[in-house]
Structure 1
Amino acid sequence: MGDDREAVPTPDEIQARVGKRLDDVAKILAGALITVAGIMTALGLSSDVVFVALNNKSWPIYVASLCAILAIVCSIVALLIHPTRRGNLWETCVLILGVVFYMVALSVAVIGAAKAADGNGRPNITDVKIEGPRSHLQLSFDVHADGVEMWATIQVYVTATGADLDTPIRGSVDDYSSELRPDDTGTVEQRVSMPMTLPPEAGGISITALNASNGTDDLCESRSHRGPTCTRIRIP
């Protein structure tokens, strides 16, 4: 009768099998950068938005890219380690570190994609038009903002100013004010059209739009992440 017992693997064969499995993990980590880029693309982060995020020094994009690169470095180092008993131990330690970098890269990539693709909540004033004589002006303009929090508002003010275009001539009373709420996607889109009658001492019109969630730095010249947008028009 033949011997049906399975041959017992030698220690070298065991170490070789363990080394092969570790190498398989290392090969998975080698695609970390592609995986991170795929997640960002799936969440709507196009190349144009990536460049904007990098220009704005968006830290999640930098952290995700750095961690993905470190995961790749760990995978390359692991593949170069010889599959001995001690080598497998070192390879395991390197791969654990690589997996940590890999998971951090994936997590931060989701945060970065959501932050960059969702907008910044800053309002913009565009398509400003003034028609009619000074005594019966018709002012119109568009207000737009992306990424506005659901509980926040975009506040818009229109005021007649003096010759310096900064000082309101009617005290604290605005000729127009509104608080615009975002829709379900966090977008504010409003076309404002209003008549204005400027007194003789008026030198122009000031339009201000600001994100009410900021609470500070409401000056037009302030260096703030969500500073206001200001438009000043001199009226002859």
Structure 2
Amino acid sequence: MAFPERFSNLPDYAFPRLRKLLDAHAPGGAPIAMTIGEPRHAMPDFVGRVLAANLSGFAIYPPNDGTPELLAAISGWIARRYGVTLAEDRLMVLNGTREGLFNACIALCPETKAGQTPVVLMPNPFYQVYAVAALAVGAEPVYVPATAATGFLPDYGSLPKDVLDRVALAYICSPANPQGAVASKEYLADLLALAEKHDFKVLADECYSEIWREAPPPGLLQVAAQQGADPERALAF
């Protein structure tokens, strides 16, 4: 079967590649699964009871926009967590962040930027869906090192102006996977200012926002609201 050329250079998915690397090495002891990130703890007791009490609802399609109760719960959590008031029409219900991170690029990345191929910025290492989304829309993915030298976060501001002027979207993951680095309010404010200067949108992958020890990580929407940034430039997943 012939596939469209735009998909010919998509990388293999990370977990099969990792499996191939590990298959050649016999474990020296009991293996510890460190691949796909499946939960290892039992669900809280109340979850099973709530699911069982609502089984009849699984026989119908929910509204595409989400039920009013769900949207109100999400909006309320964002207000409590980040101090940001979001109208329910600013929310989109997803089947996990991967769906949104991919589809946002499909929906928001233009065919050209400054008359050239648009650029999508992403940290390196990165969640593979960032690169796949960029390649799927014909954009140029630019992998920006997130190493100890930059605090394990990408220094997008260090890129040449001609690259920044072509940026349509920039992915950021905080807390970062796999490094665990947390973007400070200052970092996020600088990123939003850079987005304003070069006219691009920031897609914040915050799926690890509730894994922390001392203080909850700041969020992109929180910083955008505090500095009065254009809300159309800040998307959080």
TM band (smaller chain): under 0.3
Q: So what's the TM-score if we normalise by structure 2?
A: 0.18
Q: So what's the TM-score if we normalise by structure 1?
A: 0.18
Larger C-alpha radius of gyration, 1 or 2?
Answer: 1
